[in-house]
Amino acid sequence: MVVFDKPHALTDAPMHYCPGCTHGIVHRLVAEVIDELGIEGKTIGVAPVGCSVMAYNYFACDMIEAAHGRAPAVATGVKRADPENHIVFTYQGDGDLASIGMAETVHAAARNENITIIFINNAIYGMTGGQMAPTSLPGQVTQTSPYGRDVKQCGFPIRVCEMLSELDGPEYLERVTVNNVKNIRQAKKAIKKAFQNQIDGKGFSLIEVLSSCPTNWGMTPKAALEWIDERMIPYYPLGVYKDRSAQEAQDK
Amino acid sequence: MAEKVLMKGNEAIAEAAILAGCRHYFGYPITPQTEIAAYMAKKMPKIGGTFLQAESEVAAINMVYGVASTGMRVMTSSSSPGISLKSEGLSYLAGADLPALVVNVQRGGPGLGGIQPSQSDYFQATRGGGHGDYHMIVLAPASVQEMASLTVKGFELADKYRMTSMILADGTMGQMMEPVSLDFEASQTVEKPWATTGTKMSRPHNIVNSLFLQPDELEKYNFERYERYKRIEETEAMCEEYMMDDAEICVAAFGIAARVSKNAVDEARKMGIKVGLIRPITVWPFPKAAFAKAADKVKAFISVELSMGQMIEDVKLATSCKKPVFLCNRAGGMIPAPEQVLASIKEAAEIGGAN
Amino acid sequence: MAKLTFKTDICKGCGLCVDACPKKLLRLAQEKINKKGHHPAEITDEAACVGCASCAMMCPDCVIKVER
């Protein structure tokens, strides 16, 4: 009996990501969820600009490559084109979603746009070679913060889930990570809920996934996963930040 | 003859778009085109369509990109500063070969400029506007009737050639009211096997994309696109010629400038000056053949524009600078009066010896 | 007893599977180099593997198929 294999919703194309990069894990979780929900034939994914720009080669469903930061707007168009028959997700990094595309993110959330967003927070711009991201930690050394992120000079990191949770719009916000098997199981549960919410017409769901970037963090893949525990989770606590349906059920 | 209704130019665009089968509109308020958004906001919910006021012009054009990816007819509208913001999206639409309709009801610039009519986005529209090698089909209406008919035409051309059509109007065309016939045939549909509507598990996945990291591959797409552009230049250029048969002076003007110029041509004819008018209806593709033909007959051209002189460059190119080309213009939201155009015609007649 | 199949050609030798195995049954084959130029992962003692699939779940590249 096969207990584990590549999901159908991933193509056979070898991924271009660096060794130990967790993008591949999150891609697989999304694909497993698409398989389990039986929605590959009606799913349309929107890829960002950043390391996962070529995600369109890896997902077997229809895919669209968006301009930098604009994926939620593109997804809005795709969803509105045929709300009954399109399942739409975006896959975006921290620079894409929380810097250049912040307006599109916030307003899609405020509209409770019935889409699913997978948000990869690895605290750095990977594709361009390791520059400071809106989520880089205070003191974090990057190519454009070579003396460490100085919050007096360039401000503080943005906690996306906490910020969006203040809006009335979004249905579901959860922060997860994929740095060990237990956390991967939880991440998959969250991603599945985010897609199920869309199927049920509940609206905007965003899953923030704390991820590693061994290459640009200058660490081994193993050390990078440990850094998530040691440095990222204290600043970006895991958990559910909004679950409107659950809240409403409780309030009744 | 179909019944005519009195409509504003902006409303005629909106109604024509709906008649052309457009059910998705995304916009952001900006003067002087907001009537289009207001009309769509009223109509779309009643016919099962989408009206969405986006958070910015940038978001609106990307929502257009999303719908266009699914193969459905979609539009947005804005005015000059807003079109600058949309230019990123226009480049991506071109790079991904997506059909869409974009309306620019131009106002004076640069910068925030003013809210009065202008034609100073001619370069931006005819040269593409955003980054990279590309064109849009640019249609320049000169009446409320054309605001409607060119909107329908714009959707058809966009589908046919998988590219953006732009309606290049101006504040006057948007705001003026004229009787208009909206008796349009439901335009033909085009197969869109490339659209991302879900694989239904019955075909390999479609990808809408403008990223090609291999330069030879990217070059190939650029070459293919320009082959298509060449066909469009050969077959889709449109213009109106007025009193050109015996003309010795040729006025070139589009949109509101053409309406003013027509009056001036009539006045000049009364004075015995042999002057005619070529009015480009498509400014890209530019009606080069009409101008090239005229260049062999007339003694001089006058480009009448609501800008510092932009179309004049296309007139010079189309005529290979065989004859002098004069500029008669106002800018910043001002419109040349027929008297100003008449004075230019007289001057050109004297210099060119046409009398 | 479980059966692991490795798509050795696409392994990037990151070692996340090695760390994930609760019984420490995996290793990067230092004496081998795959098409990508990496030392690929392999199992040292398949008979001892219980097929928990922790290695496969940590693998970013779906290199490992697990059967039980």
B59 — contact with chain A (CB < 8 Å)?
A: yes
Give which of A89, A98, A60, A106 is closest to A236, Cα–Cα: A98
Min distance B121 CA to chain A CA atoms (Å)? 24
Identity at A146, one-letter amino acid code: P
Give which of B275, B171, C64 is closest to A4, Cα–Cα: C64
Rounded distance between C-alpha atoms, residue B313 and residue B302, angstroms: 12
Q: Name all domains of chain C by residue range, CATH numbers in brackets.
A: 3-67 (3.30.70.20)
- The pLDDT assigned to B354 comes to 46
Could A76 and B66 be called an inter-chain contact, meaning their C-beta atoms sit closer than 8 Å? yes
Query: Helix and strand tally (H, E) in chain A?
Result: 11, 8
Is the per-residue pLDDT at B355 higher than 80?
no
Report the topology of domain B4-235.
Rossmann fold (3.40.50)
Q: What is the pLDDT of residues C30-56, one digit of tens each?
A: 999 999 999 999 999 999 999 999 999
Other C-beta atoms closer than 10 Å to the C-beta of B193 total 7
Rounded distance between C-alpha atoms, residue B181 and residue A235, angstroms: 63
CATH assignment of A23-251? 3.40.50.970
| HSE of A238, CA atoms in CB hemisphere, 13 A | 19
**Please, what CATH class does the domain formed by B241-352 belong to?**
alpha beta
Could C14 and A221 be called an inter-chain contact, meaning their C-beta atoms sit closer than 8 Å? yes
- The pLDDT assigned to B353 comes to 53
- The pairing of strands C3-6 and C64-67 is antiparallel
Q: What is the pLDDT of residues B80-89, one digit of tens each?
A: 999 999 999 9
Q: What is the pLDDT of residues B148-206, one digit of tens each?
A: 999 999 999 999 999 999 999 999 999 999 999 998 876 667 999 999 999 999 999 99
- The pLDDT assigned to B186 comes to 64
Confidence bin at B62 (pLDDT 50/70/90)? very high
B72 — contact with chain A (CB < 8 Å)?
A: yes
Q: What is the pLDDT of residues A10-28, one digit of tens each?
A: 999 999 999 999 999 999 9
Write out the residue limits of the CATH 3.40.50.920 domain(s) in chain B. 241-352
B249 — contact with chain A (CB < 8 Å)?
A: no
- The pairing of strands B74-78 and B239-242 is unpaired
User: How high is the ipTM of this complex?
Assistant: 0.97
Which ranges of B70-191 would DSSP assign to H, the alpha helix?
80-95, 122-126, 144-161, 171-175
- 0.80 cut: is pTM over it? yes
Spatial contact of A82 and A92, defined as CB atoms under 8 Å apart: no
Is the per-residue pLDDT at A174 higher than 90?
yes
Write out the residue limits of the CATH 3.40.50.970 domain(s) in chain B. 4-235
Of A53, A62, A65, the CB nearest to B205: A62
Identity at A93, one-letter amino acid code: G
Of A20, A28, A214, the CB nearest to C62: A28
- The neighbouring-strand residues paired with B280 are B239
Domain boundaries, chain A: 23-251
Rounded distance between C-alpha atoms, residue A212 and residue A85, angstroms: 34
Give the pair of three-digit tokens for residue A155: 């401000």
Is the per-residue pLDDT at B76 higher than 50?
yes
Is the per-residue pLDDT at B257 higher than 50?
yes
Spatial contact of A206 and A173, defined as CB atoms under 8 Å apart: yes
